[in-house]
Amino acid sequence: MLELYGTEIPSRLLLGTARYPSPAMLAESVKRSQTGIVTVSLRRETAGGRNGGAFFEMIRELGVRVLPNTAGCHGVSEAVLTAKMAREVFRTNWIKLEVIGNHDTLQPDVFALVEAARILSDEGFEVFPYTTDDLIVAERLLDAGCQVLMPWCAPIGTAAGPLNLSALRSMRAHFPDVPLIVDAGIGRPSHAAIVMELGFDAVLLNTAVAGAGDPAAMAEAFAKAIDAGRQAFGAGMLEPRDMAVPSTPVIGKAVFS
């Protein structure tokens, strides 16, 4: 079972709650995904005069753990303030920390990310940092107090799938005992299976499910792919070979002269 900050989570799929066609479809997607955690952006849901209170109440009624995030923040002070507001609203010390540094790629500002992570960890938050696949940044985040890392596999919302498998493999090998959750860029269930086969602990999705023709069916498909990838990793997979190897043994084969 997945354990994050001392809490056991029944599913290895974390689901975002933005951009669904309707609240009913969001609820059905959460149900069919069997997720134990949903992410919620305090900033997005309260911006532009939205009825954030009603939305947050609906999220609570889903009966899953809420992971608030700081989506849309572009600086340390902004992210820290948003995290504190989210703690008041959702009564949780968990926070998915996003500090965006580039408007086009939505790549995190890793310098600000580490600084914000240190501040929030010192104030009792349990931080889930959205980061790159850079090992040095990962080490700095762990030094700052993070016990979970959330590397991207491609820019947010691109659905491009894992662009740098070597980097993801290196991260898994370098941090064997740290929970690693792939966040951002996954577009298909096969992408999720690939990263789970590398030994990652979980996957966080939003756009790939919310933007599907049938979000609930897609959420279920991702849940199955993640389970399959995790089971395959645990079973021990064959590595690629340079030469063909027959599956039928040749020893004892009849010889005709």
Q: What is the pLDDT of residue 214?
A: 97
pLDDT of residue 29: 96
Q: How far is CA 29 from CA 1, 60, 201, 214, in A?
A: 22, 15, 21, 9
Judge if pTM exceeds 0.75. yes
- The predicted-structure confidence for 181-207, as pLDDT tens digits, reads as follows 999 899 999 999 999 999 999 999 999
Q: Extract the residue ranges of the chain whose pLDDT is less than 70.
A: 43-53, 250-257
84 has catalytic annotation: no
Integer Cα distance of 86 and 90 in angstroms: 6
Residue matched to tokens 């501040």? 119
Which member of 31, 96, 224, 253 is catalytic? Answer: 96
What's residue 141's pLDDT? 98
The dihedral through the CA atoms of 102, 82, 86, 200 has a sign that is positive
Angle at 39 between CA 110 and CA 66, to 5 degrees: 120
Q: What is the pLDDT of residue 58?
A: 83
Residue 103: the pLDDT is 84
DSSP state of 10: S
Per-residue pLDDT, 252? 66
Q: Say what the pLDDT of residue 257 is.
A: 60
Q: Which amino acid is at 63?
A: G
- For residue 253, the model assigns a pLDDT of 67
The span from the CA of 125 to the CA of 119, in Å, is: 9
